[in-house]
Amino acid sequence: MPCAYGSSLGVLSTILLYPCLGIPWIYYSTHFLSALVGIQSVSPKVTQRDVVILTVVLFLALFLFQRFGTSKVSFTFSPIMVMWFGTNIAIGVYNIVKYEPAILKGLSPHYIIKFFMRNGKEGWNLLGAVFMCITGAEAMFADLGHFNKEAIQLAFVYFVYPSMVITYAGEAAYLTKYPDQIGNAFYNSIPKPVYWPMFVISTLASVVSSQSMISASFSIVKQSLALGCFPRVNMIHTSTEHEGQVYSPEINYILMVICIALVVGFKGGVQLANAYGVVVVWVMIITTCLITLVMLVIWDTNFFLICGFFITFLTIEGVFMTSLLNKIPQGGWVPFAISVFFLIMMLSWMYGRSKKNLYEAKRKMSLTELQDMLSNPSLLRPPGICFFYTDLFNGIPPIIRHYIQHTKSVRTIMVLVTVRTLPIQRVRPEERLVVGKLGVDGVYRCLVHFGYREIPNVEGREDDYIASLTAKLREDAETTEEVGKLDSAMAEGVVFVIGRIILRANKNNNGWFARFTINRLYRFFQKNSKSAISDLGVPPGKTLQVGMLYEI
């Protein structure tokens, strides 16, 4: 039961968190622009257009570098972030001491009440700007693929959080003396002798923080693929030590194009910051709801503790959310538009996959039916081995019936092959193949295991692949006659058969919306997604592709 709950929650969290995929694009754009806008504080000749161009150049460099993996430069991330937070603390303390030491009184919560009593509705509107101070906290989940929970908690509580408080207090102290410079308070509050070193460190820190969100994007897509919630894309492991360090070319270039389009389209204006604030508060609300669900279903937490957690956090986040509603027409609509696109993609894919699985479950062949078809005197059994690839782990897929009915022939040896990628780097040779006889003359089932760092490509070495598989079959052979049959079949050659399934929703059983989803959306994503066995590299001269239409 816990496994079933876990799978359900995994799918649910993927559905709910895909609106959060609006975050990466807004995140990269906002952070790069906020780092590079410091140039304008030094020279009035530098225009916003120049900042946008420089941001686009850095985007191109960052995304084009992704294919090399973060392991090549990850050793620099920690020193950069230590320098970033350390220098912020130093400058914050300097500004507090120099301009207004009493600014630390602002840590007292009673000033919040006085602020709202004095400003009323205007104070509520200003909450949207205040919320920008805590953006970034939602990105901590990106580190869970590389660090444990305790490390993240210690770093945040004892280093990151104090740094944020001191930095903002220092800026506030500076603004008490120079309130007219609120437009770019961070860079204006930096002492001139350390301005350029801080500009470089700020830019590097933006690159590191953006890298964490890029890695998080790859990670969430990888997990969605495992749950069958996203069209198949290439997923390349870039590290020999960490399974979580992955790279997807398709997702990477989609991220790059949308980020550049956002920066150029909004020209680095306030609309981008509005979009960032809106999407972050909704991510926090969704995360609160999901954690509550986990506490209730998985952790079996006391009901009153769950209510206390849910009400407290939802109230705080709800207040911030209402203050940001007026930002939606002013750029806040962007993450929702991005989310709608990905939700349509994901839900269409899940709906089509569910219909396909249901069709196969109802129509998969039994061993008796297969035996009857193979026993038909009119069926030809030419010598040789047929490797029939299928992604169905249990049972015999209906495309086998379709193949036999229309070709009227089956090789003397037919092996149903299913390829699995395991969460380990490499599979030992003796554990790669798991074979078994299906109880029907000349028909076998084979599971081929690969590690996530291995490329399941047999091109150029198909003879070794066939020899090892045949040797495994011979080990499990029960009689010398069966061994002789395998040897003679191998001598006659092999053919690789790959099935291609096309879904079509008919008018009688489906409404217009279901037909549009299956016949247009799902078929489009299926046509443009990566094939489940595309990495095998089976030799084209020995490959036969068999298509079948599933009438849903």
Structure confidence at residue 170 (pLDDT): 94
Position 29 pLDDT exceeds 70: no
Residue 478: partners with Cβ closer than 8 Å, 6 or more residues away:
437
Banded model confidence at residue 269, pLDDT cuts 50, 70, 90:
low
The structure's pTM equals 0.78
Banded model confidence at residue 96, pLDDT cuts 50, 70, 90:
very high
Structure confidence at residue 194 (pLDDT): 92
Of residues 238 and 547, more confidently modeled: 547
Strand boundaries in 286-344, DSSP class E: none
**pLDDT digits 0-9 by tens, 411-437:** 988 999 888 877 777 788 778 888 888
Position 72 pLDDT exceeds 80: no
Of residues 440 and 251, more confidently modeled: 251
Banded model confidence at residue 125, pLDDT cuts 50, 70, 90:
confident
Position 134 pLDDT exceeds 60: yes
Half-sphere exposure of 105 (CA within 13 A, CB side): 7
Position 13 pLDDT exceeds 50: no
Banded model confidence at residue 242, pLDDT cuts 50, 70, 90:
low
Position 476 pLDDT exceeds 50: yes
State mean pLDDT over 275-286: 81
Element (H, E) at 490: helix 480-492
Of residues 535 and 315, more confidently modeled: 315
State mean pLDDT over 152-173: 89
Position 315 pLDDT exceeds 90: yes
Residue type, 502: I
Structure confidence at residue 173 (pLDDT): 93
Query: Which of these ranges, 312-321, 462-471, 505-514, has the smallest mean pLDDT?
Result: 462-471
Neighbours of 33 (CB within 10 A): 23
- The residues that bridge with 438 in the sheet, in sequence order, are none
Residue 47 DSSP label: -
Structure confidence at residue 4 (pLDDT): 42
Residue type, 468: S
State mean pLDDT over 250-266: 85
**pLDDT digits 0-9 by tens, 139-153:** 665 555 556 778 888
Banded model confidence at residue 330, pLDDT cuts 50, 70, 90:
confident
Structure confidence at residue 537 (pLDDT): 67
**pLDDT digits 0-9 by tens, 165-194:** 999 999 999 999 999 888 788 888 999 899
Q: Name the nearest CA neighbour of 388 among 469, 504, 276.
A: 469
Tokens standing for residue 249:
């070319």
State mean pLDDT over 61-85: 80
Highest mean pLDDT among 34-38, 75-79, 81-85, 464-468: 81-85
Round to whole Å and give the CA distance between 350 and 344. Answer: 10
State mean pLDDT over 496-504: 88
State mean pLDDT over 187-214: 85
State mean pLDDT over 252-281: 79
State mean pLDDT over 399-407: 90
Position 223 pLDDT exceeds 90: no
Residue 326 DSSP label: G
Q: Are strands 443-451 and 246-247 parallel, antiparallel or unpaired?
A: unpaired
Chain-wide mean pLDDT for the chain? 81
Q: To the nearest 10°, report the CA torsion of 143, 148, 149, 154.
A: -90
Residue 55: partners with Cβ closer than 8 Å, 6 or more residues away:
29, 32, 33, 36, 263, 268
Q: What is the CA radius of gyration of the chain?
A: 29
Q: What is the separation of C-alpha 417 from the centre of its chain, rounded to a whole number of angstroms?
A: 28
